[in-house]
Amino acid sequence: MPLRMKPLADQVIVITGASSGNGLCAAQMAAAQGARVMLAARDEGALKQVCAAITERGGTADYLVTDVARQADVERLAERTIARFGGFDTWVNNAGAGVYAEVLDLAVDDHRQVFETNYWGTVYGSLAAVRHLKDKPGGGALINVGSINGDMAAPILSAYNASKHAVKGFTDSLRIEMLMHKAPVSITLIKPSPVGTPFPQHGRNGTGYRARLPVPLYAPEVTARAILHAAQHPRRSVTVGGIGKVQVLGATMMPALFDRIAARMAGMLTRRDEPVPFEPGNLYQPRGDNGQTEGHQHGRQFSTFTAAARHRATSLGLLAALTAAGTLAARRRSARLT
Cα(288)–Cα(225) distance, rounded to whole angstroms? 26
C-alpha neighbours within 13 Å on the C-beta side of residue 175: 18
Q: Is 119 a catalytic residue?
A: no
Residue type, 18: A
C-alpha neighbours within 13 Å on the C-beta side of residue 41: 33
* CA dihedral for 81, 84, 88, 90, sign (positive or negative): negative
Angle, nearest 10°, between helix axes 312-337 and 242-253? 60
Cα(37)–Cα(40) distance, rounded to whole angstroms? 10
Contacts of 95 (CB under 8 A, 6+ apart): 16, 17, 23, 40, 41, 68, 117, 118, 121
Name the nearest CA neighbour of 327 among 227, 222, 249, 210. 249
Cα(278)–Cα(270) distance, rounded to whole angstroms? 13
Candidates 100, 119, 160, 218; catalytic one:
160
Residues with a catalytic annotation lie at 160
